[in-house]
């Protein structure tokens, strides 16, 4: 059931990315809300769940792109794992911590993707354009972080409850 709900969220987000977000470039850069789903999974689930959702969302997204398949999957699973690990280490959560984590993780995700892209010899984006892309992705994902976390909270609901039950036992 959880997998189905995660699948629905990923499907909807990819359609929104392809048909809406990508069509509204700012400063020549396009947002990346598929990365946001991975980050939200790390925040709402845990590092492990985040990595799995990030990998799955990235892999499906990769299949629609012409960049090497597996590149987004690798980037998103690493970012979601880091976010999940960071969030688990926070002792007292306040409203701005997930927001700041989303913004930072989005920036990290773009830079990581650009690095892997360069290592694989693709070099799709010139270095001068990277700051604009980082800024656009980070700001957009920061703005959408709350609805994305609601969506992932709904998608991972069973998991969280069963985990809570496990801790209560």
Partner 1 sequence: MALSRRTGRSRFTLFLLVLASITVLTLDFRESAPVSGLRSGADSVFSPVRSFADSISEPFANAWGGIAEYDDLTDENERLRRRIDVLEGRQIGDEVARRQNTELKRQLGIRLTTDIPTTAARVVSGPLTSFDATVQIDRGSGDGVKEGMAVVTDAGLAGRVVRVTGGRSQIQLITDPSFTLGIRLAEQGDVGIARGAGREGTLEVADGISGDTGVKRGDAVITSGLEGSAYPPDVPVGKVRSVGRTADRTEKTLVIDPAADLRGLSYVTVLLCDENCS
Q: CA 27, 136, 141 angle in degrees (round to 5)? A: 155
Nearer to partner 1, 2 or 122 (CB): 122
Query: Cα dist. 61→53, 69, 157, 160 in Å?
Result: 12, 9, 24, 26
Position 169 contacts partner 1 (CB under 8 A)? no
Binding range to partner 1, per CB under 8 A, among 1-9, 58-66, 93-101, 148-156: 58-66
Q: What does the alpha-carbon distance between residue 46 and residue 23 come to, in Å, rounded to a whole number?
A: 32
Q: Tell me 126's DSSP state.
A: -
Q: What does the alpha-carbon distance between residue 58 and residue 141 come to, in Å, rounded to a whole number?
A: 16
> How many binding residues for partner 1 (CB under 8 A)?
59
Position 83 contacts partner 1 (CB under 8 A)? no
Q: What does the alpha-carbon distance between residue 31 and residue 26 come to, in Å, rounded to a whole number?
A: 8
Position 81 contacts partner 1 (CB under 8 A)? yes
Q: Compute the least distance from the CB of residue 68 to partner 1, in Å.
A: 5
Q: Compute the least distance from the CB of residue 143 to partner 1, in Å.
A: 16
Position 20 contacts partner 1 (CB under 8 A)? yes
Beta-carbon-side half-sphere exposure of residue 104 (alpha carbons within 13 Å): 11
Position 139 contacts partner 1 (CB under 8 A)? no
Position 153 contacts partner 1 (CB under 8 A)? no
The rounded Cα 57 to chain-centroid distance in angstroms is: 8
Contact residues toward partner 1 (CB under 8 A) are: 14-20, 22-26, 28-30, 32, 46-48, 51-52, 55, 58-71, 73-74, 77-78, 81, 84-85, 110, 113-114, 117, 120-127, 129, 133, 136-137
């Amino acid at each position: 059931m959880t997998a189905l709900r995660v699948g629905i969220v990923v499907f909807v987000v990819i359609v929104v990315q392809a048909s809406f977000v990508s069509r509204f470039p700012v400063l020549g850069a396009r947002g990346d809300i598929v990365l946001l789903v991975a980050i939200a999974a790390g925040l709402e689930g845990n590092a492990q769940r985040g990595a799995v959702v990030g990998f799955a969302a990235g892999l499906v997204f990769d299949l629609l792109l012409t960049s090497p398949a597996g590149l987004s999957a690798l980037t998103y699973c690493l970012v979601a794992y880091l976010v999940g690990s960071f969030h688990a280490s926070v002792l007292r959560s306040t409203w701005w911590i997930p927001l700041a984590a989303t913004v930072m993780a989005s920036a990290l995700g773009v830079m990581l993707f650009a690095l892997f892209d360069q290592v694989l010899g693709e070099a799709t984006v010139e270095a001068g354009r990277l700051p604009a892309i980082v800024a656009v992705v980070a700001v957009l994902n920061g703005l959408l972080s709350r609805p994305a976390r609601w969506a992932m909270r709904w998608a991972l609901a069973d998991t969280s409850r069963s985990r809570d039950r496990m801790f209560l036992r």
